[in-house]
A and B are shown apart, each in its own frame.
Chain A
Amino acid sequence: MTIEFDNNQPIYLQIMNYMKGEIVTGKLKPGDKIPSVRELAAELQINPNTVQRTFQELERETIVETRRGMGRYVTGNEETILTIKKEMAQDVLDRFIRGMQELGFQSEEILAAVAENIEIRTKP
């Protein structure tokens, strides 16, 4: 896997978002084993403690589970994954709406612009 890191943001948050992305898009499936701290640190060329922190946070949010002596796995709970997906969607929406408002668009105009764009994209 490759992540374009932004050194201005905490690295562990960036890896978290990346892993969540892989999970909600199904590239990592429920019950899949995820790499070890050491493997991922070597692959991404970052500090193992940073990866450790990422995994701890993912565990805290119950997206990832540790099975004693076997490693870490993506949660089998589809509801948890759906919740993450909604949260990520909310982030995208927040950013989009804020951006449009900053450009001076009113609510109706934003809705119209979205509808129009979706229509363009779904045309053959």
Chain B
Amino acid sequence: MDRILQVQNVTKKYGSKHALRGVSFGLSAGKIVGLLGSNGSGKTTLMKLIAGLAQPTSGGISVLGVPVGEASKSLVSFMPDRPLTESWMKVEDALRFQQDFYPDFDPGKAKRMLEFMKLSERDKVRTLSKGMGERLQLTLALSRRAKLYVMDEPIGGVDPVARTNILNALMEFYEEDSTILLSTHLVTDIERIFDEVMFIKEGELVLHSEVEELRLQRGKSIDELFREVYAEC
């Protein structure tokens, strides 16, 4: 199967502190992959490196064989953990903003997603609740026809009902031949949508496996494994 993402022995240091240490893995096409880790384990750093928003101290990352940099940004759609929208914007402005930046932005898909999310183009971004704000961010990210979607905590700050809505939207609108890398520390609600999970701990990749294999071999849920791995944190 097509290799979408290749991460090769990546280390990232901030000053003398290691945020990531010798991380290597590959992701193939058509997978939804959970990047799991407690706060401060290195999830966001890794995602920023993949999105090309920061440079690794050593090691290499490529998307469809293209080294991460300007050229890879047209292949990767990144949803950061903090909104990119400005407070003066209405939803329609946010969409136009995204469209200006990315030629692969699909306005038709964005419209369908807004409807699904019960968001109006006339809504002011500033007055959206946290859950609605996350839905907008998800719409912005998923409306691009990218090969790799990198989503940092898309269900981080919302209640269980809103979480279900966001997951529904994700299942409804993701492109089957693309790959989603999604970070979270809320495992229970979301583990059923993953093909694979990666556990990252203190900057190191400690586990990368298919979820059904994990369940079959260990007879445990991903949430249980997660609690075991991070018990001493």
Query: Which residues of A are at the interface with B, using a C-beta cutoff of 8 A?
Result: 5, 7-12, 41-42, 45-50, 53
User: Does any Cβ of A come within 8 Å of B102's Cβ?
Assistant: no
Contact between B168 and A45, CB atoms less than 8 A apart? yes
Chain A residues within an 8 Å CB radius of B176: 48
Query: Residue A8 contacts which of B168, B171, B192, B215 (CB distance < 8 angstroms)?
Result: B215
Please measure, in the bound complex, the distance between the C-alpha atom of A8 and the C-alpha atom of B224, giving whole angstroms: 8
Chain A residues within an 8 Å CB radius of B223: 7
Chain A residues within an 8 Å CB radius of B224: 8
Contact sample, A vs B, 18 pairs, CB 8 Å cutoff: A5-B192, A7-B188, A7-B215, A8-B220, A9-B215, A9-B219, A10-B215, A10-B216, A11-B212, A42-B172, A45-B164, A45-B192, A45-B193, A46-B171, A47-B192, A48-B176, A49-B195, A50-B192
Query: Residue A7 contacts which of B31, B168, B195, B221 (CB distance < 8 angstroms)?
Result: B221
Residue of A nearest to B174 (CB): A48
Please measure, in the bound complex, the distance between the C-alpha atom of A5 and the C-alpha atom of B223, giving whole angstroms: 14
Chain B residues within an 8 Å CB radius of A9: 215, 219
User: Does any Cβ of A come within 8 Å of B32's Cβ?
Assistant: yes
Please measure, in the bound complex, the distance between the C-alpha atom of A41 and the C-alpha atom of B170, giving whole angstroms: 11
Contact between A12 and B212, CB atoms less than 8 A apart? yes
Query: Which residues of B are at the interface with A, using a C-beta cutoff of 8 A?
Result: 30-32, 164, 167-168, 171-172, 176, 188, 191-195, 212, 215-216, 219-224
Contact between B222 and A10, CB atoms less than 8 A apart? no
CB contact under 8 A between A50 and B212, given known A5-B192, A11-B192, A45-B193 = yes
Highest count of chain A CB atoms <10 Å: which of B31, B191, B212: B212
Residue of A nearest to B170 (CB): A45
Closest chain-B Cβ to A46's Cβ sits at a distance in Å of 4
Contact between A47 and B215, CB atoms less than 8 A apart? no
Contact between B192 and A46, CB atoms less than 8 A apart? yes
Contact between A8 and B194, CB atoms less than 8 A apart? no
Chain A residues within an 8 Å CB radius of B215: 7-11
Please measure, in the bound complex, the distance between the C-alpha atom of A98 and the C-alpha atom of B172, giving whole angstroms: 43
Chain B residues within an 8 Å CB radius of A7: 188, 191-192, 215, 221-223
Chain A residues within an 8 Å CB radius of B188: 7
Chain A residues within an 8 Å CB radius of B222: 7
Chain B residues within an 8 Å CB radius of A42: 168, 171-172
Residue of B nearest to A5 (CB): B192
Contact between A49 and B30, CB atoms less than 8 A apart? yes
Please measure, in the bound complex, the distance between the C-alpha atom of A50 and the C-alpha atom of B203, giving whole angstroms: 30
Please measure, in the bound complex, the distance between the C-alpha atom of A47 and the C-alpha atom of B31, giving whole angstroms: 9
Contact between A47 and B219, CB atoms less than 8 A apart? no
Known contacts A10-B212, A49-B32; 16 additional CB pairs below 8 A are A7-B188, A7-B192, A7-B215, A8-B224, A9-B219, A11-B192, A11-B212, A11-B215, A41-B171, A42-B171, A45-B168, A47-B192, A48-B176, A49-B195, A50-B192, A50-B212
